[in-house]
Structure 1
Amino acid sequence: MQVQLSGQKIEITPALRERVNGHCERLTRLESRLLELSVVLSVDKLQQRCEGTLKVPGAAPLHAEATESDMYVSIDTMFDKLVAQLRKHRDKVCDKHQREVREERQYG
């Protein structure tokens, strides 16, 4: 999976990059065929914002964002949302496949 990390009004430190890459491993454990992840970190006064877009084969991109007072917390929250969306997508795909197999056995 290709990871693109960028910042608006914030410098991407090695610690922030490491935090994002650590969470990427969590996503790849759920789904190995992920194409690309784009993460944008931004600061606006006291709000630390993290936005992420995950491209999955055969589906629309998954998007999540989180705004917190701490950048690390916003990264964690955003990845939690992406994981939930990815699990839901994976369950839909698996359920559809199982339903097709059942129908094939029933009518085939």
Structure 2
Amino acid sequence: MQLEITGHHLEVTDSMSAYIREKADRLKRHFDQVMNIHFILEVEKQQHKAEATLHVSGNHIFANAHSNDMYAAIDALIDKLDRQIVKHKEKVKDHHRQEASQLADVATATD
């Protein structure tokens, strides 16, 4: 997995970069086919903004989050990405085999 971290109107410190890398490892727990993630950290007036584009096989996932604290914005962003990855994984998973086995179970239960 490749991570790109960019800062707009903000210098990305080593501690921010390490924090993002630590949190991004959580995303691999659900879906190990993540190819690369591009994080953009930005400060607009007093609002901290974090956004990310995640490239997985056959799809792009985007999320953004705002907060008064950059670390809180990163946490919210990772939570959003985590939910979207789980949703994407469910879409990709083949449900037909599961449905067929459930129908067989129902048929044997009624006999």
- Same fold by TM-score greater than 0.5: yes
Aligned length: 101
Structure 1 unaligned regions, length at least 5: none
Q: Distance in 1 between matches of 2:58 and 2:98?
A: 19
Q: Distance in 1 between matches of 2:91 and 2:40?
A: 28
1:60-92: per-residue Cα shift (whole Å, max 9, x none)? x10000010000000000110000000000011
Q: Percent identity?
A: 32
Q: Hey, what does 1:79 align to over in structure 2?
A: 78
Q: Hey, what does 1:24 align to over in structure 2?
A: 24
Q: Hey, what does 2:95 align to over in structure 1?
A: 98
Displacement after TM superposition at 1:98 (Å): 2.8
1:2-60: per-residue Cα shift (whole Å, max 9, x none)? 1000000101011100110011110111111111100000001100000000001022x
Q: Hey, what does 1:4 align to over in structure 2?
A: 4
Q: Distance in 2 between matches of 1:101 and 1:79?
A: 30
Point out 4+ residue stretches in structure 1 off by more than 4 angstroms. 100-103
Q: Secondary structure at the match of 1:77?
A: helix
What is the identity, as a one-letter code, of the residue corresponding to 1:70? D
Q: Distance in 2 between matches of 1:38 and 1:82?
A: 12
Over aligned residues, Cα RMSD in angstroms? 1.5
TM-score between the two structures when normalised by the length of structure 1: 0.87
Structure 2 unaligned regions, length at least 5: 104-111
Q: Distance in 2 between matches of 1:24 and 1:66?
A: 15
TM-score between the two structures when normalised by the length of structure 2: 0.85
